[in-house]
Amino acid sequence: MRKIISVLICVVIVLQLCSCVPTDDTKVTENITAMNTVMQITVFNTSKGTVEEVAEKMLQRINEVEKLFDANLFDSDTSRINSAVTELTVKDETAELLNIAKKASETTEGAFDITIMPVLKLWGFNDGNYGVADDEVIKDFLEFIDYKNISVAGNTVTKNVNTQISLGGIAKGYLGDELMKIADEYGATALLSLGGNIVLCGNKSENEKWTVGIKNPKDTESIACSFKCDGNKSVVTSGAYERYFEYSGKTYHHIIDPKTGYPADSDLLSVTVIGENGAFCDAFSTALFVMGKEKSVAFAKEHNEFDFILITENNEILITDGVTDIESESGNFTVKSIQR
Ligand code: ADP
Ligand code: MG
């Protein structure tokens, strides 16, 4: 009998969800289940319309984006791409997201690769029907995994007939960017929690930053650290503990190394990426987890338009210069700077 455990939890929590938020008296909070996860939207204030109107627009946009990318909907762009075709026309948003995904693959030398889908299916990470994949089959399927097998020109997607994609590592980040546009349009201050991705729309107040907590990967009921963050940023965390199953005493998690087809054997426990472009933050957090500590530190040094928090298996919290006022909540971690 195999023992299956599936855990899906929010990785990052924003500490002031309950208190000290901007003009609390007018705020509206909405909860929604979308993209296989729980999302929460809190709109605190707005300079146009009402907070209810902003929240309503955001909920609508979540539904639209979900429909576009839902691999379980037969006519979504993801399903159409995953069918046995070599050329098709996709919506503007899909073309945009595929271009970002390809750029993220190039930047991370293939550590992020949406064409991972055939191997994800072998492990059951596409539908929760988990099982240990067969080594021979994994090796056979590795030939289907290559982001270069899919290209985008305008709205036309060209691909190998066997190429299938998973947008699980990037779609929530993209959705956050779409919702940020709505907040921007309305001049709204909002806090979004999209299944662990945090989106800080606007500044908390004129002279106060948001405070964000990062979950302790070793004890997900507690916080490893908290820090101060400017508004108009996404804070995205990837960790092995987010979704996994156990079989014969071994744990298999959902972040796959595209070079091996196996769950990434990482010396990092979690990777948080902070930046203005949520889609890239999402893709990079997944990729850096695959890359491991040494390559991730080098990556962080080269990409100073983003900030990074790497929690290592040796209980270090490695941070870049934009992560300010960090407080380690648990005595077990040592905070160190990545110099760049
Ligand atoms: P979560 O979706 O739990 O927030 P991530 O952003 O790290 O976590 O994305 C993990 C998801 O991305 C997996 O569930 C899978 O759908 C997909 N994925 C797994 N490995 C890779 C990879 N190397 N490159 C791109 N996508 C991946
Ligand atoms: Mg990701």
| Complete DSSP assignment for 77-92 | HHHHHHSS-SEEE--H
Q: What is the pLDDT of residue 177?
A: 98
Q: What is the pLDDT of residue 301?
A: 98
DSSP codes, 292-326:
-HHHHHHHHHH-TTSEEEEEETTSEEEE-TT-EEE
Q: Mean per-residue pLDDT for 238-257?
A: 94
Q: Which residue has the tokens 């500044």?
A: 203
Which protein residue's CA is at the shortest distance from atom 10 of ligand 1? 169
C-alpha–C-alpha distance, residues 23 and 46, integer Å: 10
pLDDT > 70? residue 232: yes
pLDDT > 90? residue 157: yes
Please report, for the chain, how many H helices and E strands are present, in that order: 8, 18
C-alpha–C-alpha distance, residues 270 and 266, integer Å: 9
C-alpha–C-alpha distance, residues 14 and 316, integer Å: 21
User: Is the Cβ–Cβ distance between 121 and 165 less than 8 Å?
Assistant: no
Distance (Å) from CA 53 to ligand 2 centroid: 29
Q: Mean per-residue pLDDT for 69-97?
A: 96
- What DSSP designation does 112 have? S
Kind plus residue range of the DSSP H or E element containing 119:
helix 117-123
Q: What is the pLDDT of residue 241?
A: 86
Which protein residue's CA is at the shortest distance from atom 27 of ligand 1? 169
pLDDT > 60? residue 16: no
Distance (Å) from CA 48 to ligand 2 centroid: 32
Q: Mean per-residue pLDDT for 202-211?
A: 91
pLDDT band at 1 (very low <50, low <70, confident <90, very high): very low
> What average pLDDT does the structure give for the chain?
92
pLDDT digits (tens, 9 = 90+) for 17-59: 433 345 556 899 999 999 999 999 999 999 999 999 999 999 9
Considering every ligand atom shown, identify the ligand nearest to the alpha carbon of residue 111 and give its number: 1
Q: Mean per-residue pLDDT for 221-246?
A: 94
Q: Mean per-residue pLDDT for 63-73?
A: 95
**Residue percentage of the chain with pLDDT more than 70:** 93
User: Is the Cβ–Cβ distance between 182 and 58 less than 8 Å?
Assistant: yes
User: Is the Cβ–Cβ distance between 317 and 335 less than 8 Å?
Assistant: yes
pLDDT > 50? residue 9: no
pLDDT digits (tens, 9 = 90+) for 309-334: 999 999 999 999 999 999 988 778 99
Write b or e for each residue in 110-141: b if 16 or more Cβ atoms lie within 10 A of its Cβ, otherwise e: bbbbbbbbbbbbbbbbbeeebeebeeeebeeb
Q: What is the pLDDT of residue 206?
A: 84
pTM of model > 0.85 = yes
Ligand 1 pocket check: which of 254, 260, 285, 295 to mutate, most ligand atoms within 8 Å of Cβ? 254
pLDDT digits (tens, 9 = 90+) for 282-293: 999 999 999 999
Q: What is the pLDDT of residue 133?
A: 97
Q: Mean per-residue pLDDT for 205-212?
A: 91
C-alpha–C-alpha distance, residues 263 and 287, integer Å: 12
C-alpha–C-alpha distance, residues 284 and 272, integer Å: 9
* Pocket (CB within 6 angstroms of ligand 1): 112-114, 116, 120, 125, 166, 168-169, 195-196, 238, 242-243, 254-256, 258, 282, 285-286, 290
C-alpha–C-alpha distance, residues 309 and 233, integer Å: 15
The dihedral built from the CA positions of residue 172, 7, 292 and 270, taken in this order, carries a sign that is positive
